[in-house]
Structure 1
Amino acid sequence: MTNVNHPTRALFDDVMVPTYNPAAMIPVRGEGSRVWDQEEREYIDFAGGIAVSALGHCHPALVGALTEQANKLWHLSNVMTNEPALCLAKQIVENTFADKVFFANSGGEANEACLKLARRYAFDTFGEHKNKIIAFKQGFHGRTFFTVTVGGQPAYSDGFGPKPGAITHIPYNDIEAFKAAIDDDTCAVMIEPLQGEGGIVSPDLEFIQQVRKLCSQHHALLIFDEVQTGMGRTGTLYAYQQLGVTPDILSTAKSLGGGFPIAAMLTTDEYAPHLKPGTHGSTYGGNPLACAVASKVFELINTPQVLDGVKVREQWFRDGLNAINEKYHVFSEIRGKGLLLGAALTSEYEGRAREFLTAGIECGVMVLVAGANVIRLAPSLIIPREDVEEGLRRFEQAVAKVLAK
Structure 2
Amino acid sequence: MIALATLLGSNLVVVTWLYVTAGPSANALLSLGRLTGLYGALLLVFQLLLIARVPWLDRRLGPGVLTSLHRWNGVALVWLLVAHAVFVVAGLLDRMTPWTLALGVTGVLRAFAALVLIIGVGVVSARWARRKLAYETWHFLHLYAYMAVVLAFSHQIAVGQSFNDGIARFYWWTIWGLALGAVVGFRVLVPLWRNWKHQLKVEAVVPESEDVVSLYVTGRRLDELPVRAGQFFLWRFLVPGRWWKANPFSLSVAPNGFYLRLTAKALGDGSAGLRQLKVGARVFVEGPYGAFTASRQRHPGVLLIAGGVGVTPIRALLEELNGDVVMLYRVNRLEDAVLLNELLDVAYQRGAEVRLLCGPPDAANSNGLLLGPRNLDALVPDARDRDVFLCGPPPMVRAVLESLKELDVPPQQVHTERFSLAS
Q: Which TM-score bucket, shorter chain as reference?
A: under 0.3
Larger Rg: 2
| Larger RCO, structure (CA 8 Å, separation 6 or more) | 1
- What TM-score comes out, normalization by structure 2 length? 0.25
Determine which structure has the larger helix proportion and give its number: 2
